[in-house]
Amino acid sequence: MPLPSLASVADLATLLGRVFTPQQELQAQALLDQASSIVRAYVGLDITKATTTDTFTMRRVDTLRYGCAGAVTLPQRPIESVTAVEVNGLATADWWLDGTELLLRAWAWARPPAAHQPPQVTVTYTHGWDPVPGDIAAIVMQAVNRVLVNPSQVRSETVGGESVTYLIPTTGEALGVLLSKTEQRVLNRYRRTAGSVRVRSL
């Protein structure tokens, strides 16, 4: 199921002080969806609140530090709750969260050659923001507005001796719904760091 856009057409219309025609609403929604996908790809998060069931490969950890058999890193955040955990298909309640780390207290790791197949941990958890953080929504709408204001992506042109300059960076970079360096810096605090590899979604 596609993820919802990170800002609504109504929010965009309010921001711009405009009333969209039905055709313009369709265009605005398509651009909001595109900008939302770009923001999600950059930060590595779904952002909107959802409940997900994913399967991860358990990794070994420092038992002296963590006092557990293994761990997985849940990629989506912020994590609101974890409702179910299974290891190799067996339900377990012997786990706890440490930030985005799900730590499993005890699990018998297989000896060779089965040891080459680490345990698979299936986790159902609720994550994300509701509502979407204001700065993220603002960046999505700002990216869409660039296209609505200047769809041809022209920085300047001269017609009949008159010069017109458009609001595109002085580098000449035609951004469209892509992210500017300033927008990336704002989004950097949301970016996901490297963690466990997700092997499949249920």
Helices (H), the chain: 9-16, 22-43, 63-66, 134-149, 181-187
Distance between CA 135 and CA 131 in Å, rounded? 11
pTM above 0.85, yes or no: no
Written as tens digits, the pLDDT of the chain (202 aa) is 789 999 999 999 999 999 999 999 999 999 999 999 999 999 999 999 999 999 999 998 876 566 788 999 999 999 999 999 999 999 999 999 999 999 998 776 666 766 668 899 999 999 999 999 999 999 999 999 999 986 655 555 666 666 655 555 544 455 678 899 999 999 999 998 654 444 444 4
Residue spans of the domains in the chain: they are: 9-46+132-152+169-190, 50-128
Angstrom distances, CA of residue 5 to CA of 89, 118, 132, 171: 34, 37, 10, 29
